[in-house]
Structure 1
Amino acid sequence: MHTSTRKKSSGIILLAEDDKLSVSYFKAVLSSEGFDVIHVDNGIDAVEKVRSNPELSLVLMDIKMPQKSGVEAAREIRSFNTALPLIAQTAFALAGDKETILGAGFNAYITKPVSREDLLDMVKRFL
């Protein structure tokens, strides 16, 4: 007998994003695939969550956030955690951005708006 379609956790993802619409979208997509999502809305909190949650599987971080940008937060995270996959998300992919993003310690980046398929492919690539 099949009692539940709820999957066991596929992992814990830290979503660092300050846009409410993007937060809702990312949470819906990731939760539907069994991921547990922890949300913060600025770079300072993102660094603190990584520091205090060693069980995190991956970080999905917006580049443009208040208090501390995603690039600054990634550099700080890399100073104490070099193994955690970091994926940048940006609506503004300009020439030179890729080098800045990857140079800050991100493993990869996705450009918003991002499709469900592209988001899940990117996340699963690192998990």
Structure 2
Amino acid sequence: MRDAQSVNAPSLLVVEDDSELSTSLMLYLESEGYDVELATDGTSGLEEATRLPGYDLIVLDARLPDRSGFQILRQARAEGVRTPVLMLTGLGDHEHRMRGFEMGADDYLTKPFATEELLARIEALLRREAQAIPEDGVFNVGGLTIDLAQQTVTRDGEPVQLTDLEYALLEYLLRRRGRTATREQILRDVWDLPAEVETRTIDRHVNALRDVMDGTDEQSWAIQSVYGIGYKLVGADPVQSAANA
């Protein structure tokens, strides 16, 4: 259990059974100003992940000796833990990444990785969590202004005509900004279709949204492809809250 030595430092839980890797991560992250707790097996990892007060972020290895990271993630989410989770997966382990996103992982990093990239992912997740999308608000993204309360989209003050499904997809990605939405999740949550359905309709709607947004390629589009998995929206900036609108 972590102590209260760094009450102002973001608290991280690292669940990793490789003692050499976990120790090096702890030392590195502590040198970057984080308060780090280690768990080296699934049982202690679950205990810490569901402990109150919660951590600011969890780094969770997918493969653990006594229970998998997916089991820990599923149980933690079932118990109401909403802490951002960065999953560590094996090289090319596509199925694991898909399972992680489906169970509520916020991002993943493939081993082996540079510690600088791990730090960048952690910082991005913590920034996103600090700027959580409210139920109502106004946001700029990709040259569009989206008013969630009014359910309107404008560009340079002029209305942008979207179909109901295009708007639903845009709002869905906005509320998950920075977090990957798998095709299965989009089919289920936006189209209300079973995950087993194969369709390219999602791609057509994403392309329709890109057509009215800034950007000409994958590097500049606000709606980015996560190849083989789904899509995520990046770069959404709040304009004002509904209360100040």
- The residue that corresponds to 2:89 in the other structure is 90
Structure showing greater Rg:
2
Amino acid at match of 1:71: F
Quick check: 1:62–1:88 contact (8 Å CA) kept in 2?
Answer: yes
Shift of 1:53: 3.2
Q: SS at 1:109's partner residue? A: strand
Give the distance between the partners of 2:75 and 2:92, measured in 1 at CA.
Answer: 22
Verify: 1:60 aligned to 2:59, yes or no. Answer: yes
Shift of 1:71: 0.6
Q: Given that residues 11 and 36 in structure 1 are in contact (C-alpha distance below 8 angstroms), is that contact kept between their aligned partners in structure 2?
A: yes
Q: Deviations over 1:6-33 (max 9, x none)?
A: x984311011010011112211221111
1:126 corresponds to 2:143: no
Q: 1:106-125 counterparts in 2 under 5 A?
A: 106-125=105-124
What amino acid is aligned across from residue 47 of structure 1 in structure 2?
A: L
What are the superposed Cα offsets for residues 66-113 of structure 1, whole Å, 9 maximum, x if unpaired?
111001100000012342001111234323232111112211110112
Contact persistence 1:42–1:69 (CA under 8 A)? no
In 2, Cα distance between equivalents of 1:61 and 1:106: 9
Structure 2 distance, partners of 1:95, 1:85, is 20
Change (3 A) 1:48 1:29: same
Q: Which runs of 5+ in 2 are unaligned?
A: 1-5, 127-245
- The share of aligned pairs that are identical, in percent, is 26
State how far apart, in whole Å, the 2-side matches of 1:63 and 1:50 are.
14
Structure 1 runs of 4+ with >4 Å offset:
none
TM-score w.r.t. structure 2 length? 0.46
Give the counterpart letter for 1:19 in structure 2.
D
For the pair 1:73 / 2:75, whether they are aligned, the reply is no
Aligned-partner SS, 1:97: helix
Q: How far apart, CA to CA, are the structure 1 residues paired with 2:96 and 2:54? A: 29
DSSP 3-state at the match of 1:96? helix
SS in 1 for 2:94: coil
- Is the 2:62–2:96 contact (alpha carbons within 8 Å) kept by the matching residues of 1? no
Is 1:19 the counterpart of 2:18 in the alignment? yes
Counterparts of 1:19 and 1:55 in 2: how far apart (Å)? 24
Coordinate RMSD, CA, aligned: 1.8
Tell which deviates more after alignment, 59-68 or 42-51. Answer: 42-51
1:50 aligns with 2:49: yes
Larger RCO: 1 or 2 (CA < 8 Å, sep 6+): 1
Rounded to whole Å, the distance in 2 between the matches of 1:124 and 1:49 is 21
Secondary structure at 1:93 match in 2: coil
AA aligned opposite 1:90: T
Kindly provide the CA deviation profile for residues 42-70 of structure 1, in whole angstroms up to 9, marking residues without a partner as x. 12211111222324111001111011100
Q: What's 2:239 paired with?
A: none
Aligned to 1:37: 36
Structure 1: which amino acid aligns with 2:118? L
The CA distance in 2 between the partners of 1:94 and 1:52, in whole Å, is 29
Gap regions ≥5 residues in structure 1: 1-6
Return the letter of the residue paired with 2:107. A
